[in-house]
Structures are given as C-alpha cells and as structure tokens.
Amino acid sequence: MDSFIPLSVPSFQGNELKYVSNAVETEWVSTAGSYVNDFEKKIAEYVGSKHSISTVNGTAALHITLLESGISSGDEVIVPTVTFIATINVLRYIGAEPVFMDCTDDLTVDIKKVEKFILNECIWDGEKLINKTSKNRVAAVIPVDIYGNFPDYEHLESISEKYKLKVIQDAAESLGSHCISGKYKNKKAGILAPFGCLSFNGNKIITTGGGGMIITNDDQAASHMKYLTTQAKDDPVYYKHNEVGFNYRMTNLQAALGVAQLEKLDEYVEKKRYIFNRYNEKLSNIKGLSFIKENERTYSNYWFFSLVVNKENFGIDRDQLMAYLQDKKIQTRPIWVLNHKQKPYKNCFAYEIEKAYYYYDKILSLPCSVNLSDDDLGRVIGAVISAKK
Ligand SMILES: *Cc1c(COP(=O)(O)O)cnc(C)c1O
C-alpha cells in the first residue's frame, strides 16, 4: 500500500528538541527568554538588517508595520489579488481598504499596472495620492513574494518615492530567497522595502509552530514596534501605558524552535530547489504542463511549486488532476481564491484583473516538503504523467 504524501509538512531533524527542552528545563517559556532575543539577532544577521522584531505570527507582523507606517482608517492600500488572505485582512484591522492588482506571469503583483493605476485613476495633489473614484488617500503598497519570487521592487521604489507611498514587503513565503540582479543584487528577502514581514507558520520554509518577524533598518521605528508588540508598557513597575499596545511578542518556546530551524534554512532552500528541478526536468516537457519558475531577479527558495495545467493539451483540467492524485494518496492544492472575489472584499476596487484569472484555474501546487524522499518524488512524477489523456 502506498503511503500518503502530504503537500507540505515541517521537518525537525536538527537541534529543535534540544533547544525547546532547554527552554522548558530553564523555565523560560514566555516572551522574556534568551531564545527570543537570539532568534531576532540571528534572523537580522541572516537577512542583513539592523533590526528584527519577533511577533506571534506573520499576520501580527503585517498589522504592526501598517500601524507604524501611519496607515489609518479610510486609507487605501494597493495589494495583489493573488496572495494568502492575511495580506488583505490586516487592512481591515485598521479600517483601511484594499485596491486589488493583477499579477504577472510569475504570479507576483504587476508593478506596471500599479503605475498605470496611479497615472489613470489617481490624482497627485503634491502631498498625497488620491483615488479619483473614492476620493480616499492611497497610502501604501504591500507587494508579496509569491512562492519565493520577488516582484519588481526597483520599479516600485521609483513609484513609491514619487508618490510618497509606504511599502511593506510581505516576505512570509520568501525567507531564503535573494535578489540576483539590479540595485538590490545580493539582498535577501525581507529587506527589499523599508519594512519586511516574515512568517514561521507550520507550512513555511522554517517554522516556530506559529510566529513572525518584522525586518527593518529604521532604529526609531524598530524600537517603537517592539514597544507596540509588548503592550506599549512605559513603566515596568507601575504599568503606565501611553499608547494602545498589543500582546504580539513571540514566546521563548517558539523562538527555541526557530533558532534550530534557522540552522537548517540554507539546506532547506537547496533541497527545495533540488525537488523543483527534478519535477521541472520530468514534467515540463509534457504537453499541457509547465511550471512557474524563479524570475530574472530572484534566486528563489521555491517554497511552493506551481504546475500550470492546460486542459487543451493535457487532456484533463487542474481540478481533475487534483482528484486523480488524491486517489493515489498524493495531496496537492490549487492557488488561493482571488482576494477580490472573497466575500469580505468583493465590493472593493479591483484594477484590470486579467492574468490572475488565467492562473487561478490552472495552478496546482505539488508536494514540496523538504523531507520528501526520492521515492516519493518519483511517485508524484509518475502519477502526474499517468494522468495525461
Ligand atoms: C503565511 C502568510 C501570511 C501570514 O502569516 P501567518 O504567520 O500565518 O500569520 C501572510 N502573507 C502571506 C503571503 C503568507 O503566505
């Protein structure tokens, strides 16, 4: 009997148990432990930032960076329609509204369309950008590194400077990727914008169970964001608070797991790339199948592998292939429902969405755990090939 091959599960083959045991044995389990500081320091070293601020998850990291960016109720924020919904939900936490953008052929947000939207749909009054239709301020952009690929940050920076837009890099999926061309060459995921947000959710490339991190080089913002994540406490004895804070700091237990996982990150990136290359070698010469690959500016962590299934040539469509593989105990998954079609956001402004629809129907993510064996890899490849009609 064939065993079940999951889409993505974490791997704990390093010092995880040792460090977590140490946290328990020393009775430092909550937010004031040495692993939290250590994990922050090591992440900052890894990505090459001055600061990093741990959070309970990636969503909390995005929430805090939006607050720190001065985005508030009534503001609009440009976001991709192709992303996990957390990128969008944080806007509503602060009363802001999304403006949805299309993707390019690598699934990342189309910066040319962002520029076109600004030129055609907005007015620049010399101080701020106003959406002509809603009359609201367009205050920020949250580009997302979908499945490890970078959008065009260089082009975005020229736009954001001109129109005073804040930029927050949602790097939840791209830790371990780095830039290989242009102005940001050799820079790592998380520092391609003034603020970057990471996630260590269970299915991300490294995990703390649940956790996140804010990346920045801004001294003042860093200390204020740490203050916000720790209940905005101004006096540790009398518990005086001058702002509304959050209980968002990562715990020592989570960070202990994180320190051990970070030791494996480079190995995991190479393993992901190895698995992707095997899939690509065996499957992309089959009629009707192709992969979304790393773009010209990214050395990708290949967090997820997106197979594009064209029914006309492959004989069956994406959903039929998913069901076929499910029968063979192979778990795969389509890309997220486009966010401008999700119920809470269906009435929001969506600008010239075209490519996103094309990919929404066709993408299937194949098993991508770093502990996927060569046998299992072969089984997935064989099963996909045998599904062709
Ligand atoms: C996972 C993810 C998040 C949210 O991170 P959590 O740690 O699950 O809160 C945000 N954005 C994107 C693109 C993600 O993939």
- pLDDT confidence tier of residue 29, bands split at 50, 70 and 90: confident
> What is the model's pLDDT at position 2?
86
Catalogue the E-assigned strands of 22-152: 51-55, 76-80, 97-101, 122-124, 129-131, 137-141
CA 236 – ligand 1 centroid, Å: 32
Cα 57 to Cα 156, 219, 331, distances in angstroms: 26, 22, 25
> CB count, 10 Å around CB of 290?
18
Share of the chain above pLDDT 70, in %: 100
Of all protein residues, whose CA lies closest to atom 2 belonging to ligand 1? 172
Angle of CA points 356, 173, 6, to nearest 5°: 90
Q: Chain-wide mean pLDDT for the chain?
A: 97
Residues 6+ apart with CB under 8 A from 127: 164
Of all protein residues, whose CA lies closest to atom 6 belonging to ligand 1? 58
57 Cα nearest atom in ligand 1: 7
Closest by alpha carbon to 90, among 349, 364, 376, 339? Answer: 339
Q: What's the whole-number mean pLDDT along residues 39-63?
A: 98
> What is the model's pLDDT at position 77?
98
Share of the chain above pLDDT 90, in %: 97
> What is the model's pLDDT at position 255?
98
Quick one: tokens of 289?
A: 């199948």
Report pLDDT digits (tens) over 67-81.
999 999 999 999 999
Report pLDDT digits (tens) over 234-281.
998 999 999 999 999 999 999 999 999 999 999 999 999 999 999 999
Of the residues 55, 142, 170, 229, which should be mutated to test ligand 1's pocket, given the most ligand atoms within 8 Å of the CB?
Answer: 170
Report pLDDT digits (tens) over 90-138.
999 999 999 999 999 999 999 999 999 999 999 999 999 999 999 999 9
Q: What's the whole-number mean pLDDT along residues 142-166?
A: 98
Q: Rounded to 5 degrees, what are φ and ψ at 42?
A: -70, -35
Give every strand in the sheet of 363-366, ordered side by side. 289-291, 305-309, 363-366, 333-334
Q: What's the whole-number mean pLDDT along residues 289-299?
A: 98
Q: Is the pLDDT of residue 1 over 80?
A: no
Closest by alpha carbon to 153, among 125, 111, 213? Answer: 111
Which residues contact ligand 1 via a Cβ below 6 A? Answer: 57-59, 83-84, 86-87, 144, 170, 172-173, 199, 201, 212
Q: Which residues pair with 54 in a beta bridge?
A: 213
Can you tell me which residue has the tokens 């009054």? 125
Of all protein residues, whose CA lies closest to atom 5 belonging to ligand 1? 58
